[in-house]
Structure 1
Amino acid sequence: MTIKRFKRKCKLMGCSFELGVVMASEREANILLDEGVGEIQRIEALLSEFQEDSTISKINENSGGNPIAAEPEVLALLERSIKISKLSKGYFDITMGPLKKLYQFKNQTFKFPEKKTISRTLRKIGYHFLRLDTGNGTAQLYQKDMRISLAAIGKGYAADAVRKKWKKHNLVGGYIDASGDLTAFGKDENDEVWKIGISNPDDRNQSLFYVPLQDAAVATSGDYEQYFMHNGVRYSHNINPKTGLPVSGVKSVSVFSPSAELSDALATAVYAMGLEKGISFLNQLPQTHGIVINAENKVFFTKQLQYEPIPA
């Protein structure tokens, strides 16, 4: 039988997913694709801050109040999020939602919030105010008006979960593409290793080079169309959780690691860190690589990253 790629597209967790499996049987492929979509839907119901009955929404609504019962799966993800916050010295922080509400990026005339407003809001965020009790199965935000958002790690977690389910089956390869964040394993229908194109930050339809992706994941954090100019400086919609200010000086960060969840979170952290600190940070992590494109479109690589130039 001929080996083929079978695909499914869906809109979940606030982004566009494309799921793909490589195998001979279309019937079996559709079963796996259904399983993948179902798994992402299940995880979204747990983690979404926009669904009132999700565990995360319940924790948010009770900020400053009593602990809230949470599934072991959710507690484990929150625990790993806190570990990444500590590892990145606070540049990744799932409690920084209130900062984003200060900015109205969609307005034609952009205005920075007042310094005292930013300072007051910074006191409402901090991963150390999220208390987990795994023995009792609860999570608690200690300060009122705090909010958890798993937007920078949730879709990576979902991609890892789908990959884990699929790898139990006999298929040649597969991938989960969450709006350009790619998780892949095995090989494609041509018996070749999967490759990811790193986009030009000024033209997402143009790839600068390819990076092979063998049982690994890549996540990209960038401003692309989501930026604004203020006094001649280009600012991203991404906020630095330490300063409360939009990030400038970096257009794009791509992080490669064995885990989509980790790549997702680290790309966010490195984007806020900036070029030099971010590259240095990634170089210290095992099995982790990165590409940073600065405001002048200069490309910087971590050590030992393999990539292929685009043929002329």
Structure 2
Amino acid sequence: MESRKLQTRLMGSDFELIATGDNDAEITERLEQGVSEIQRIEAMLSVFNEQSVTSKLNARAGNLPVEVPAEVYELVKRCQHISNMSQGAFDISSGTLKQLFNFKYDHLAWPDQEAVDTALKNTGYRHILLQDNNHIRLEQPGMQIGFGAVGKGYAADRVKALWIAGGAKSGVINASGDLTAWGTQPDGSPWIVGIAHPDDTSRMLFWLPVKNASVATSGNYEQYVERDGIRYSHNIDPRTGWPVPFIKSVTVISRSAELSDALATAVTVMGVQAGIHFINQLPDAHCIVVDDKNNIFQSANIHINAKVD
């Protein structure tokens, strides 16, 4: 068995695909198939594409329902399930809130409470109505949904499924830290994923062997704002409308990249105690949290020897 790595920019993120196969032609075909699948999902879900399913749903918010592809309907259905389980800590309908904050620029104008309250009226997963025959209606005018918290994980899972259906016995899809891996490296050793140090992404805080599992990390490494001495994450609490403080990074390990992606966001919003309690209730899910004081917390069934220094 041979392997080859492809690095490319898709969905606004750096993707790394590691395909395995019996020969170079087979590996090349898998890599090309993987890129095409990610491009297909990006075209379908991107809020920056006016023809995407997401854009069409947002354009019809407060109006008649929109018929969507079955896979989008099922994706939204799974997102709604996690929203219910997390009591709204995870919510794909927080697009209007996110427009109030732009963490990519140095000078962030902090919105007032009135602006946040107005955006909150257009937020809430309960306003996403799943109707018969793959129809979805956004109940509130001005609602904006987005798949930024699960889209890359979903793409990674889809590529994995395609590769396995084609006979691939192992591989890795890494979407800027939202990673899924199965099987082993060609030499029989496990795939290894590094979790970045929350204060210096050039350093690794710890390494994890990954076999038939998915890992996602949500952190305020680059997109954040400091206000009155407090660093706020780019993650918005959809229940309050404000950015999340006191958490530097959350890493979740579960059965799928999509699930790990969503759960990492939920735990970040919930905070250390509630977040770890939440993960402890879920079978086959584990998490590691680094707070703003560089303390490391772990869920019940994972034991990583690491410290932040």
TM-score (norm 1): 0.94
1:229 to 2:226 alignment: yes
Deviation, 1:283, is: 0.8
AA matched with 1:142: E
1:277 to 2:282 alignment: no
The residue aligned with 2:74 is 76
Taking the aligned partners of 1:94 and 1:43, their CA distance within structure 2 comes to 17
The residue aligned with 2:253 is 256
Deviation, 1:306, is: 4.6
Q: Secondary structure at the match of 1:244?
A: coil
The residue aligned with 1:61 is 59
Deviation, 1:82, is: 0.5
Taking the aligned partners of 1:274 and 1:63, their CA distance within structure 2 comes to 31
Alpha carbons 2:286, 2:302 under 8 Å: kept: yes
Alignment of 1:15-164 (within 5 A): 15-133=13-131, 135-164=132-161
Of 242, 252, 265, the residue aligned with 1:268 is 265
Alpha carbons 1:212, 1:307 under 8 Å: kept: no
1:297 to 2:257 alignment: no
Q: Secondary structure at the match of 1:290?
A: strand
Call closer, same or farther: CA 1:32–1:110 in 2, change over 3 Å.
closer
Q: What do residues 127-159 of structure 1 show as CA deviations (whole Å, max 9, x unaligned)?
A: 1111111x3321111111101100101111111
Q: What do residues 24-83 of structure 1 show as CA deviations (whole Å, max 9, x unaligned)?
A: 311100001111111111111211111111111101111111111111111011111111
Deviation, 1:185, is: 0.5
Call closer, same or farther: CA 1:163–1:302 in 2, change over 3 Å.
same
Taking the aligned partners of 2:23 and 2:105, their CA distance within structure 1 comes to 50
The residue aligned with 2:6 is 8
Deviation, 1:169, is: 3.3
AA matched with 2:177: G
AA matched with 1:34: E
Counting aligned pairs with the same residue, the percent is 45
Deviation, 1:243, is: 0.9
Q: Secondary structure at the match of 1:167?
A: helix
Deviation, 1:113, is: 1.2
Q: How many residues align?
A: 307
Call closer, same or farther: CA 1:72–1:293 in 2, change over 3 Å.
same
AA matched with 2:226: M
Deviation, 1:245, is: 0.8
Q: Secondary structure at the match of 2:192?
A: strand
AA matched with 1:33: L
AA matched with 1:52: E
Alpha carbons 1:256, 1:288 under 8 Å: kept: yes
Deviation, 1:122, is: 0.7
AA matched with 2:288: I
The residue aligned with 1:288 is 285
Q: What do residues 244-272 of structure 1 show as CA deviations (whole Å, max 9, x unaligned)?
A: 11111000000000111100101011111
Alpha carbons 1:211, 1:308 under 8 Å: kept: no
Deviation, 1:309, is: 5.8
Alpha carbons 2:103, 2:234 under 8 Å: kept: yes
Q: Secondary structure at the match of 1:293?
A: strand
Question: Structure 2: any 5+ residue segments left out of the alignment?
Answer: none
Q: Which runs of 4+ in 1 moved over 2 A?
A: 104-112, 168-172, 306-310
Alpha carbons 1:220, 1:254 under 8 Å: kept: yes
Alpha carbons 2:276, 2:287 under 8 Å: kept: yes
Q: Secondary structure at the match of 1:234?
A: strand
Alpha carbons 1:211, 1:306 under 8 Å: kept: no
Q: Which moved more, 1:101-110 or 1:49-58?
A: 101-110
Alpha carbons 1:95, 1:148 under 8 Å: kept: yes
Question: Structure 1: any 5+ residue segments left out of the alignment?
Answer: none
Deviation, 1:277, is: 0.8
